[in-house]
Amino acid sequence: MPQNPANPVTLEQAIATEQRLRSAADEDPTVKRLLDMALMLEGLHRHASTHAAGIVIGDRPLEQLVPLYRDPKSDMLVTQFNMKWVESAGLVKFDFLGLKTLTVLQKAVELLQSRGVSLDLSTIPLDDTRTFDMLGRGETVGVFQLESAGMRKALADMRADRFEDIIALVALYRPGPMANIPVYNARKNGKEKPDYIHPKLEVSLKETYGVIIYQEQVMQIAQILSGYSLGEADLLRRAMGKKIKKEMDAQRERFVSGAVERGLDEKIADEIFDLLAKFADYGFNKSHAAAYALVAYQTAYLKANYPVEFLAASMTLDLSNTDKLSEFRREAQRLGFRVDPPSINRSGVTFEVHADGDGQLSIRYALAAIKGVGQQAVESLVAARGKQSFKDLSDLARRINPRLVNKKTLESLIAAGALDELEKDRARAFAAVDQILALANRSQDEASAGQGDIFGSMGEKESLRIPPHKPWLASERLQREYDAIGFFLSGHPLDDYASILKRLKLQTYTELARAARAGAPAGRIAATVLDRTERRTKSGSKMGILALSDRTGHFEAIIFQEGLNHYRDILEPGQAVILMVQAQVEGEDVRLRINGAEPLEKAAAKLPSALRITIGDEKAIPEVANALKNKGDGEISIIIPVEGGVREVEMKLSGRFQATPQVAGLLRTLPGVLSVEQA
């Protein structure tokens, strides 16, 4: 099927121009029947749809001008005529587009206002050096219209240094006119001379270096060369856009005769008309491109000059999109400021900007962005907190509304680390959830019965009785955090392996991608498996697609059936692995294929290492011994304080043991173990 997004072809045209389609119909009766039925169906309306942004007005009640229809899913009346026919029926049509980016801009301005910075986006300079320098480097994450890989490359090649360049890029970056981006860039940067087609047209085409980009340029050329009025020029633009032969023939005659009257050679006038018709096919309305470019420039200006507020606002408008939140967080890290974990006492419903004692700005993670925590529950929590922070879990229980804050809400908040200030041990807080809700219900019942003040002032307040619980390993703590937030925020499962990764000479994903772009075909990386999906290839064999993460970001890799069968048990979600991969560069992306895999813990166990375990209670010794039951290559030293902690005794155990980060993490959870140092 021929594909031309700039000028789609009908099925009839496709059959006429593509021999293989005709051959398929001749050779296979099913294909012929399919095409015959499709030809009858093509062009029919499949359903009644509503234009996303189209509003029409008339000079009298609409039912007197056009038939109306009411969508059963809404109370809104719509015209039964489509957007082209309503104009012929006498209605005026407007498109009102709702842009999330406008709210991002407003939110960023409000965040700036909250720290005393007043900014009016309508008065910002359109030649800000910092903004254009940032655009030239392609640092456009979060910048409206300009953040795709293709846009970043075009910006870098263009070396945009004026607002008109952004307007041009917005208009050019579409199927069809994209072919003119290299021409525009070459002429802008002096590598190629502008071609104005005719000396008279320089005034119209100088801004775009002779490249016809805008519909307004087509109209202006008709005015200059052929004496068109503005109304006539608009009719020319519409005729060229619709490609109706009868209208085009009439316009050609009008254009050529007008140009000849003004001294142009008839042949040249005819050629210019053909050229205009070609450009008008995908010419963009400049006023539309300029409006979009202004919003793009405003977002770029905010990011270049006030990046903390800009990213906080962007994250607020993408509260439920964890992929975007993760991307914005990585961008914040690249720019050198923190995204702090959620806090029940300091976070708001949305993302907020905070300054520390030194005036350093950071973004505080939004409570409403935690998975499983509803907006209404978060708003009630923030209202219950008011200006007085929660002191502990009991205080939290007595002040929350258990009808709005349920078990799932509390568990998600704990897993995300939002209650760390009230209870550092997330496993202990998790075990207390039922008791928190029970106390919350009792407190609310007492308040409803008017007993709160009577009993609240008498003796000790009721405290929580937390049942026995099993401590979480560091890896489990991070995995639960990942499930609640959508990415690793307070740390990464590979953090404990930092020295081991260095000794094993493993690359990060960022280093591997950089090497691949420089020509390296393969590498070895360590990663945590986030997810694995399996699907069938065209040949029927299985293929695995793995979502992976390391300390530099999230990425994907594929593995084919033979490798999948061999390494399936290793490549389970939550596992830390070493991967041998092939890297292939495709445009801006680096594609990875897994050739081999090994558990990171197994590789770590082979390396000579040592642990120094400080014990504060001799009752911990049996548990420590049980944790060290597996033999390995590591040395273990036990440190025990004596004489009331004045001195300590260090004993080196005979034999060799596993002294991996996972073992160290297990030891840290044991009661009576004060510290575990890895050497």
611-630: pLDDT as tens digits = 888 888 777 888 888 888 88
Task: Write the pLDDT tens digit of every residue in 124-155.
Answer: 999 999 999 999 998 999 999 999 888 998 99
pLDDT at 241 over 80: no
pLDDT at 372 over 70: yes
pLDDT at 185 over 50: yes
Contacts of 32 (CB under 8 A, 6+ apart): 25, 26
Nearest-angstrom CA–CA distance, 13 and 461: 82
**Does residue 433 share a domain with residue 340?**
yes
- In this predicted structure, which of 15-19, 377-381, 435-439 has the lowest mean pLDDT? 15-19
Q: What is the CATH number of the domain that holds 668?
A: 3.30.70
- Predicted TM-score (pTM) of the model is 0.79
What is the CA angle 8-10-12, rounded to 5? 150
Q: What is the CATH number of the domain that holds 530?
A: 2.40.50.140
**Does residue 384 share a domain with residue 457?**
yes
Q: Is the dihedral of CA 483, 487, 493, 495 positive or negative?
A: negative
Tell me what percent of the residues of the chain surpass a pLDDT of 90: 53
Give the pLDDT of residue 459: 42
Nearest-angstrom CA–CA distance, 601 and 528: 12
Measured between alpha carbons, how far is residue 65 from residues 55, 59, 83, 362, 575 in Å?
15, 9, 14, 57, 66
The domain boundary residue, chosen from 441, 475, 509: 475
Task: Write the pLDDT tens digit of every residue in 209-230.
Answer: 999 899 899 899 999 999 999 9
In a domain, 156, yes or no: yes
In a domain, 488, yes or no: no
- On the CB side of 385, how many CA atoms lie within 13 Å of its CA? 19
Give the pLDDT of residue 451: 60
In a domain, 4, yes or no: no
Tell me the mean pLDDT in the region 180-192.
93
In a domain, 103, yes or no: no
In a domain, 207, yes or no: no
Tokens (6 digits) for 211: 């490249």
Identify the helix (H) or strand (E) that includes residue 27. Answer: helix 19-27
Tell me the mean pLDDT in the region 336-341.
92
Give the pLDDT of residue 6: 66
pLDDT at 425 over 50: yes
Tell me the mean pLDDT in the region 33-56.
88
- In this predicted structure, which of 326-330, 452-456, 629-633, 666-670 has the lowest mean pLDDT? 452-456
Phi-psi region of 655 (alpha: psi -120 to 50; beta: other; left: phi over 0): left
**Does residue 434 share a domain with residue 512?**
no
Measured between alpha carbons, how far is residue 579 from residues 252, 529, 535, 608 in Å?
65, 11, 21, 21
Contact (CB, 8 A) for 44 and 65: no
Q: What is the CATH number of the domain that holds 362?
A: 1.10.150
**Does residue 409 share a domain with residue 320?**
yes
pLDDT at 62 over 80: yes
The domain boundary residue, chosen from 543, 568, 602: 602
**Does residue 236 share a domain with residue 358?**
no
pLDDT at 453 over 70: no
Give the pLDDT of residue 443: 87
**Does residue 465 share a domain with residue 370?**
yes
Tell me the mean pLDDT in the region 341-347.
94
Nearest one of 168, 177, 114, 122 to 145, comparing CA atoms: 168
DSSP symbols for 582-644: EEEEETTEEEEEEEEEEEHHHHHHTS--EEEEEES-GGGHHHHHHHT-SEEEEEEEEEEEEGG
Give the pLDDT of residue 447: 78
Nearest-angstrom CA–CA distance, 374 and 25: 55
Give the pLDDT of residue 461: 62
Give the pLDDT of residue 645: 64
307-316 helix and 322-335 helix, angle to the nearest 10 degrees: 170
In a domain, 108, yes or no: no
User: Comparing 195 with 53, which gets the higher pLDDT?
Assistant: 195
**Does residue 471 share a domain with residue 322?**
yes
Tell me the mean pLDDT in the region 79-98.
88
**Does residue 615 share a domain with residue 570?**
no
In a domain, 622, yes or no: yes
Tell me how many domains the chain contains: 7
**Does residue 169 share a domain with residue 84?**
no
pLDDT at 364 over 90: yes
Task: Write the pLDDT tens digit of every residue in 457-509.
Answer: 444 566 788 888 888 888 889 999 999 999 888 888 898 888 889 888 999 99
In a domain, 513, yes or no: yes
User: Comparing 589 with 128, which gets the higher pLDDT?
Assistant: 128
**Could you tell me the residue range of the domain that residue 248 belongs to?**
215-282
Task: Write the pLDDT tens digit of every residue in 271-299.
Answer: 888 888 877 667 788 999 999 999 999 99
Query: What are residue 177's phi and psi, to 5 degrees?
Result: -65, -15
Residue 326: Cβ within 10 Å count: 18
Tell me the mean pLDDT in the region 110-121.
94
Give the pLDDT of residue 666: 81
pLDDT at 334 over 50: yes
Give the pLDDT of residue 498: 86
**Does residue 459 share a domain with residue 341?**
yes
**Does residue 143 share a domain with residue 86?**
no
Q: What is the mean pLDDT of the chain?
A: 88
Nearest-angstrom CA–CA distance, 457 and 658: 55
Tokens (6 digits) for 142: 């979060």
Give the pLDDT of residue 54: 87
**Does residue 505 share a domain with residue 385?**
no
